[in-house]
Structure formats: C-alpha cells, structure tokens
Structure 1
Amino acid sequence: MAIAKTLLIQIDWEGPFKQEELPSLRNEETDYGIYQIYGKHPVYGKDVLLYIGKADSQTVGKRISQENWLDTNDSNNLKIYVGRLHGAATPSMEQWSKQIDLAERLLIYVHKPAYNARSLSTLPDSEIKDIHILNWGNHRDLLPELSGLRWTSKLDFLDYDVYRWL
C-alpha cells in the first residue's frame, strides 16, 4: 500500500469578537479562514458552539455580517472566534481556498455544531483522509489536533486483530 503525503493545516485562532467588531475583520490580505460562533441554544444551553463557517472568497467580517445572527435567542452574547491558516509560506490562492474548505469540512464533521446540520451527513474520504489539522491559540472548544485518518474509513480494515503475546 502506497503511503500518501499528509497535508498539515495549521490554524491560529483569535477571539472572542462580538458582532459589532466584525468591521475590523475585513483586512483584504489576511482575514480569510474559518470561524466559530458560540451562543445560546434552546436545547444545548448557553455559550455553546453553534456554527463553524468559512470565508475564502470574502473576508471573515464580510461573510459573517451576511448571516442572520441577530435573530438568535441571545444575539447580544454571541462570541466569534476567527481562525487564520498559517505556515512557513503562503500557498497559492487556489491551494489556500482548498485548505480552508477541507479544514471547515473536517472541523464540522468532528465537532457537530448545532447549526451545521446539513454538513454533518457525509465526509468525502478521498479528500479528507490525508488531512491533519493543528489548532493553535484561542481554539476554544475545538480539539487541538484532528486527523482525517481517525474520521474516515481509510483504516477500516477487516483483517485487524487484537495484539496477542505469542
């Protein structure tokens, strides 16, 4: 079996921000990536992860302001965390956008935020299996490290046995 190269996606999280601070998140050079929204949910309680989203063709500030978070149960207490991809060198725009997309998908699938229900049903094994995410900074309730190996069927072999001392 050939070993594929792992794509390491590192995300540096900052926050919390309030909705009125969104205009400050419109830097056309850096404000792209993933965001988390925390707030009150009628079933899960207050200050819980509600949503994970992405901003790759527009800034985080612009993207979130297009969503209707003012109609939530307690919109005055929403908390927004912004994750910017970082590494040794900035990838091409196409690669950057693809990494944002893959990271968003895996983060949603693993953490299952209440308002991301449509994105929870399937995870494309072929695209996600070789992804490894490291969350740095204020990643809040997100796991610090995620691997596509763990969440896809890549390691689902029927011939696995429990180790035995021979």
Structure 2
Amino acid sequence: MRNSNLETKIYDVYWEGPYSLDIITQDKDRDIAKEWHCLYQIYGDHPTYGRDVLLYIGKTERDIMKRLSEHYNRFSNQCDEVKVFLASFGEFTSWKEMRDRNYDPISKDNTELNAIESLLIYAHQPAYNIMSLSSNKFDNLNFRIFNTGRRKSLMPEISTQFYRDDRGFAE
C-alpha cells in the first residue's frame, strides 16, 4: 500500500450545533460562530434523498460568518429551515488529554484543512458538493479523523487509508 510507512496523524474534528443559518449570520456578539470554527455541515430537505439529510460540507480560511452568509441565498429558500453544524479541529493525542483540556485549534491557513474537508466530502458524499465528490486532496497523506461532539450523520471515524484509491500500485 502506498505511504504505508508514513506516520498516521489523527485529527479530532469537534462539531457544535445545530444552529439556524439566520442565527449564525446575525450573531454580532460572536456567541456562536467563533474565530476557530473552520468547517461546517448543512442539513436540510432534498427532493431525492429525503428530509433532514446532509446537503453540504464546507471549510473556510476566512471568517465563518462571512462564508455562511455567502450560502444564505442558496439555503434560505429551502422549504424548511436548514441546520448548520460548525467545527474546529486539532491534532488528537489521547482521550485523557482531550478530557483534561481543550486542544489549540490548528491554523486555518494550511493544507491540512483542505485535506480534512476533502476526506469528509469524499467519505460522506453530500448532495450539493457536486464539484468535490470525485476528487481528493488527501492522496499523498496518511491521517484519520475522529468526528466528535454533535457530528449528526457523519461517521465517527474515517481515514485516508480506507478511501484512497491505491489500485494499480505495486506493494
């Protein structure tokens, strides 16, 4: 298997929510959308997939309120209000350390954030992430994601080793 001798990092992606899009975009006091939030997932109704399904996974290296306000027109006209979950991530070391103190979120301006978003989309196939469904930005990386907190329908653990297409490479 390609890259099997590389270290496998583990990231904890901690999800919070659900929040309405209106509440987040009007959160002037920053009680909900914090500066360290860099990932989000949006749930709502879909004509083919049903009610309260994962519609979109996204990331931002900018302010998350500004990024979600760009989605406002697309999602505010849904029949029912959409639910938004926000997340930050950090490198996982141990469950004890996670209980004893919170990790420092990793900088939003890095390739790790792009790779994490890419793996989340590739593994969960949200209905509105059409452009990102068939590509990945984690091909040369080994890492696992623990989705913790209010993860909704996301799998609790995913890895690049499982989703990477290594067919055609000699072992």
CA offsets 1:135-160 (integer angstroms, 9 cap, x no match): 1000000000001000012477677x
Does residue 139 in structure 1 map to residue 151 in structure 2?
Answer: yes
TM-score (norm 1): 0.79
Q: Tell me whether 1:65 sits opposite 2:69 in the alignment.
A: yes
Residues 149 and 155 of structure 1 are in contact (CA less than 8 Å); yes or no, is this contact kept in structure 2? no
2:127 & 2:145 partners in 1: Cα distance?
Answer: 21
- Give 2:97's aligned residue: none
**2:131 matched residue in structure 1:** 118
Which structure would you say has the larger Rg?
A: 1
* Aligned positions, number: 152
Give the conservation status (yes or no) of the 8 Å contact 1:9–1:99.
no
* Greater fraction helix: 1
Larger relative contact order (Cα-Cα within 8 Å, sequence gap ≥ 6)? 2
Structure 2 stretches lacking a partner, 5+ long: 92-102
Describe the SS at the equivalent of 2:13. Answer: strand
Which stretch of the first structure deviates more once superposed, 59-68 or 83-92? 83-92
1:106 matches 2:122: no
Instruction: Give, as a single letter, the amino acid of the residue that structure 1 aligns with 2:44.
Output: G
CA distance, structure 2, for counterparts of residue 114 and residue 49 of structure 1: 7
Q: Call closer, same or farther: CA 1:157–1:135 in 2, change over 3 Å.
A: same
CA shift in 2, pair 1:155/1:138, >3 Å: farther
Superposition CA RMSD, Å: 2.4
Q: Which moved more, 1:150-159 or 1:36-45?
A: 150-159
Q: Which runs of 5+ in 1 are unaligned?
A: 160-166
